[in-house]
Amino acid sequence: MSLEGTLETAGDDARDAVLFVFTITNAGGEAVELEFTDACTAEFVLAADEEEVWRFSEGRVFAQVLSSEPLAPGESATYEAEWSDPQPGTYTATAELRATDETCEARTDVSVPS
């Protein structure tokens, strides 16, 4: 089985935020069952010059709920996050699936204008 990920970002000027959309696609020929141990299904991290400046899960509490999400071949799942009150600069954004038995990661560059 093979999971492929893409990460897209968009600015939201009305809320002074950066929105992240992490899409996981099952590129394999067999169904995949994504299993999670809590409500945080994906982690989002921003770094500048390889130094972490923001982490989605930091300071948050997530429900301790076991859940699963099936993905048939060619099917996708999307996970979103929001970075509120971003500081101007250029960053590398990384999104990582937090499933127990499957891994998938995607990166993209983010530029926050001043």
The confidence band for 108, taking pLDDT boundaries of 50, 70 and 90, is very high
The confidence score (pLDDT) of residue 112 equals: 87
Residue 1 has pLDDT above 80, yes or no: no
Instruction: Report the relative pairing of strands 51-55 and 32-36 from DSSP bridges.
Output: unpaired
The confidence band for 2, taking pLDDT boundaries of 50, 70 and 90, is confident
For residues 110 and 88, what is the distance between their CA atoms, to the nearest angstrom? 10
pTM, rounded to two decimals: 0.90
Mean pLDDT computed over every residue of the chain: 91
